[in-house]
Amino acid sequence: MRTLIRHADFFDGKNKRLHEQAGIVIEDNLIREIISGDISLENFDNIYDAQGYTVIPGLVDAHVHLSWHSTDLDRMRLDEVAVRAAKVAEIMLLKGFTTVRDAGGVTYGVKKCIDNGIIPGPRVFPSNGYISQTSGHGDGRGSRAQSVDMSPRIRSGACVIADGAAEMLKAAREQLFLGASQIKLMAGGGFSSRYDPIRTLQFTLEEMRAAVDAAADFGTYVMAHIYTPAAMRRAAQAGVRSFEHATFMDEETARVIQAQGIWVCPCPQFDGEAPKGGPEPPRALKPPNPFDDEYIAMSRNPVQATELINRFDLPIVFGTDVGFSLEFIAAGQLRDFRAYKKRFGSHNGLVSATGGAHELLKLSTSQNPYPQGKIGVLETGSFADLLFVRGNPAEDLAILAEPDNIALIMKDGAVYKNAVPAPGEGGALS
């Protein structure tokens, strides 16, 4: 199957300047060639005309939870979780996200169904179960009356409890057995959990090093849920390569992040406001804790982290942390592009969801589930994952916050959305 995208003004995932009026030649699911100037229209099975649009790589959301519905797992059977996860995957793809990094949950079966073409969805870089210490951010017990074996989240494997280096090695290796492309740790307190104040340090240095070692032996890395400077310094020392949230970063931590080239996935989470139709912001779950007040205020307005990320030019990736509910995803996933524009600028924000993510995903090396093509960039050898966008999001990233501005969505050379007017109306030839 040969497909041509003609008249493509395209963003390659990195350079602000668009390539103009190119022909993108696709064979099966890969970009074989990019031609500037005239191109013969013969010998193509499909031709799409990108005149009037900006072509960009399929978007990458580097922090989602396809199958983890937070407290919902306490009131759902696993078959319902699986069906909802399939729906979540479809919604994400139809928003333009052709690749996601899953930050924890039972994803093995969902990913397999997507990759085998049973259900539509993005490529998935799975962490599988996220690993937490007892009484950590991922200790999913619904109340203090529950024992560990009573927790549906822990029993399902969405959350794995590990204490001590030996248990950590076993937990990490178990996720690798299930095909984890990276290991996810809960390395500090959080908002959406009830029994671990935000300031708590979680996992000793020795425990985190065990996870980093297990991952490194398989050629991959550890990503960690983390908020406070003290937790970030310890995780950096252990060799964690991707900080999720990193909301309360201070200058000293920013220097460490810069020196070690750690990725930051800021997850603005709608700037602290849940979209209409979504649930209460997760922090509403937390019982009042005066020690957390300062952090809650900072999380609503992460001025310091934004300033430090920009000043130290820290490597960032786009991540939304969606997965709490279908409504939340439908309303909110693209909306975070507004927050990225505001915090990091349009071009940096767009790179964070394309060429930046390309670099991050390379850290999975031999655990990369999709080694046949490049992800997040448009060049020879990339997967044929691309979008037609009305306007240029490298100039104004807020364009991507409106789903209607995405006129065509292609993943693996197959078209999942096509709102380009038919030929004669100035659109695609076929």
Closest CB 103 distance from Zn ion, rounded Å:
4
The minimum distance between CB 55 and Zn ion, in angstroms, equals 30
61 belongs to the binding site for Zn ion (CB under 5 A): no
Of the two residues 196 and 321, which places its CB atom closer to Zn ion in the complex? Answer: 321
Name the one range near Zn ion by CB under 5 A: 116-124, 132-140, 204-212, 315-323. Answer: 315-323
Q: Taking Cα atoms as reference points, which of 202, 211, 208 lies closest to residue 230?
A: 202
Q: Which is nearer to Zn ion, 295 or 383 (CB)?
A: 295
Give me 132's structure tokens: 């937490």
C-beta closer to Zn ion: residue 29 or 133: 133
Q: Is 50 helix (H, G, I), strand (E, B) or coil?
A: coil
By beta-carbon proximity to Zn ion, the closer residue of 3 and 299 is 299
d(CA 420, CA 309): 37
Length of the chain: 430
The amino acid sitting at 199 is: R
The closest of 207, 74, 44, 222 to 145, measured between CA atoms, is: 74
**Does residue 224 interact with Zn ion by CB under 5 A?**
no
Shorter beta-carbon distance to Zn ion: residue 65 or 123? 65
Find the shortest distance in angstroms from Cβ 184 to Zn ion.
8
For position 321 contacting Zn ion by CB under 5 A, the verdict is: yes
The least CB distance from residue 337 to Zn ion, in Å, is 18
Strand 159-161 to 183-186 pairing: unpaired
DSSP 383: B
Helix (H) or strand (E) holding 98: strand 97-102
Q: For residues 74-103, which are near Zn ion according to CB under 5 A?
A: 103
Continuous segment of H or E residues that includes residue 34: strand 30-36
Least Å distance, CB 134 to Zn ion, is 19
Minimum distance from residue 323 beta carbon to Zn ion (Å): 7
Q: What x-and-dash track marks residues 330-359 binding Zn ion by CB under 5 A?
A: ------------------------------
Stretch that binds Zn ion, among 26-34, 198-206, 319-327, 374-382 (CB under 5 A): 319-327
Task: Choose one: 21-29, 209-217, 318-326, 360-368; the region binding Zn ion (CB under 5 A).
Answer: 318-326
Judge contact between 223 and 184, C-beta under 8 A. Answer: yes
Shortest distance (Å) from residue 321 CB to Zn ion: 4
Total chain residues near Zn ion (CB under 5 A) = 2
Q: Distance (Å, rounded) from C-alpha 315 to C-alpha 320?
A: 16
Nearer to Zn ion, 93 or 103 (CB): 103
Kindly calculate the radius of gyration of the chain based on its CA atoms and give it in whole angstroms: 21
| Cβ nearer to Zn ion, comparing 49 with 321 | 321
Closest contact distance (angstroms) between CB of 185 and Zn ion is 12
Tokens of 145: 């009356």
Write out the binding residues for Zn ion, residues 96-135 only, by CB under 5 A: 103
**Is 226:235 a contact under the CB 8 Å cutoff?**
yes
Q: What are phi and psi of 239, to 5 degrees?
A: 100, 15
CA torsion 325-102-63-281 (nearest 10°) is 20
Tell the smallest beta-carbon distance from residue 186 to Zn ion (Å). 9
**Residue 7, number of CB atoms within 10 A of its CB:** 16
Contact 131, 160 (CB under 8 A): yes
Of 12 and 336, nearer to Zn ion (C-beta) is 336
Q: What is the DSSP letter of 69?
A: -
Residue closer to Zn ion, measured from CB, 323 or 349 = 323
The residues that touch Zn ion, with contacts defined as CB under 5 A, are 103, 321
